[in-house]
């Protein structure tokens, strides 16, 4: 179906049989509204791409892929996208989720009790395991994309850069959609790789670290510096920031945050099992991940390796700028 480019919508407008009650969020590519289905009175969320996005075939394809992924997934921990009837323009109708963003909880409460952080992580593991078994990788896991209800049940939202394992690669025109969010992006994504389910596990490891300590594992003055840090250094052990974290829980963090995805948890269910059976987690002597400091290279070659890795995010940034201007 061909859609006409429509005028910008605002709260109070009616879109087909949906009344747009309030603006919930705006991003660089779309606006999310809380809305009411006038046919049955059900409250839903409506995601409407910006006018300029509708004129870009690549972005339209990406929006349609997000909708298709949402319609295929059916799990209590994953937001539901409703099948589309004939519509006057491109938009997405999504389950309305009650609760607070995990980001809001962290901003208000700082680090969480250890048992609560584990409980939330187990809920995310369950949802991720379902998604991954259905061939979907989220690729942008972060506290802003986790809803938490009053009973600490979680729901994953926003599949804007999610990927099906058998899908062709789409070309993106900006750095953020191509790479994800700097604080949570995996090292392999920093290097320009698509990422797979182990990239989601890395992001989950970052979130668990943040829930436990109130901080993310890496910091920097700008996004490139943050990405560089994860290529060049190991994260500061969470136990140094919060001594009551057990050696076993620290080991689980190490296994989720190891830089080489081959040495990371292969599945979310593996991580969940160890979180539930911490008494059976063997603690490694030293960092598990094969960090840069473990490479046996002569001094000159090691310096070249450090310099090369430091340039990876810069090169990716330049490539994205070039693509954006085409």
pLDDT category at 167 given cuts 50, 70, 90 is low
Between 37 and 282, name the one with better pLDDT: 37
Q: Inform me whether the pLDDT recorded for 322 exceeds 60.
A: no
pLDDT category at 313 given cuts 50, 70, 90 is low
Q: What is the pTM of this model?
A: 0.81
CA distances from 228 to 49, 96, 276 (A): 32, 37, 33
The pLDDT assigned to 286 comes to: 58
Length of the chain: 326
Q: How far separated are the first and last CA of the chain, in Å rounded?
A: 27
Q: pLDDT tens digit string along 94-150?
A: 999 999 999 999 999 999 999 999 999 999 999 999 999 999 999 899 999 999 999
Query: Averaged over 78-83, what is the pLDDT?
Result: 92
In three-state form (DSSP H/G/I as H, E/B as E, the rest C), the secondary structure along 16-29 is: CCEEEEEEEEECCC
What are the structural domains, with CATH classification, of the chain? 14-95 (3.30.200.20), 100-324 (1.10.510.10)
**Per annotation, catalytic residue among 13, 74, 126, 140:** 140
CA torsion angle for 228, 234, 240, 241 (degrees, to 10)?
Answer: 30
- Both tokens of 96, joined, read 């309305």
- Both tokens of 299, joined, read 């001094």
Q: What does the mean pLDDT of the chain come to?
A: 82
Q: Are 160 and 66 in contact (CB under 8 A)?
A: yes
Query: Averaged over 150-169, what is the pLDDT?
Result: 83
pLDDT category at 194 given cuts 50, 70, 90 is confident
Distance, in Å, from the CA atom of 187 to the CA atom of 190, rounded to the nearest integer, reads: 5
CA distances from 278 to 204, 257, 274 (A): 17, 17, 5
**Whether 74 is catalytic:** no
């Amino acid at each position: 179906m061909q859609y006409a480019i429509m005028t910008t919508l605002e709260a109070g407008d009616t879109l087909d049989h949906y009344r747009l009650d309030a603006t919930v969020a705006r991003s660089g590519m779309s606006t999310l509204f809380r809305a009411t289905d006038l046919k049955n009175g059900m409250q839903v969320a409506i995601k409407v791409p910006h006018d300029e996005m509708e004129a870009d075939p690549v972005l339209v394809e990406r929006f349609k892929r997000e909708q298709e992924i949402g319609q295929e997934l059916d799990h209590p921990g994953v937001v539901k996208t409703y099948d589309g009837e004939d519509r006057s323009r491109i938009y997405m109708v999504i389950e309305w989720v009650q609760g607070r963003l995990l980001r809001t909880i962290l901003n208000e409460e700082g680090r969480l009790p250890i048992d609560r952080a584990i409980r939330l992580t187990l809920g995310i593991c369950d949802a991720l395991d379902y998604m991954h078994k259905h061939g979907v990788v989220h690729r942008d896991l972060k506290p802003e994309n986790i809803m938490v209800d009053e009973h600490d049940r979680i729901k994953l939202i926003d599949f804007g850069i999610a990927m099906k394992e058998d899908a062709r690669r789409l070309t993106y025109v900006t750095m953020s959609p191509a790479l994800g969010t700097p604080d949570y992006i995996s090292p392999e994504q920093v290097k320009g790789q698509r990422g797979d389910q182990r990239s989601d596990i890395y992001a989950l490891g970052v979130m668990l670290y943040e829930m436990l300590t109130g901080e993310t594992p890496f910091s920097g003055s700008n996004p490139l510096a943050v990405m560089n840090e994860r290529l060049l250094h190991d994260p500061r052990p969470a136990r140094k920031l919060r001594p009551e974290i057990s050696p076993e829980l620290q080991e689980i963090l190490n296994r989720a945050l190891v830089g080489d995805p081959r040495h990371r948890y292969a599945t979310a269910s593996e991580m969940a099992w160890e979180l539930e059976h911490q008494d059976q987690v063997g603690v490694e002597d030293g960092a598990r991940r094969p960090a840069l400091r473990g490479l046996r290279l002569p001094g000159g070659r090691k310096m070249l390796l450090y310099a090369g890795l430091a340039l990876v995010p810069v090169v990716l940034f330049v490539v994205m700028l070039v693509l954006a201007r085409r």
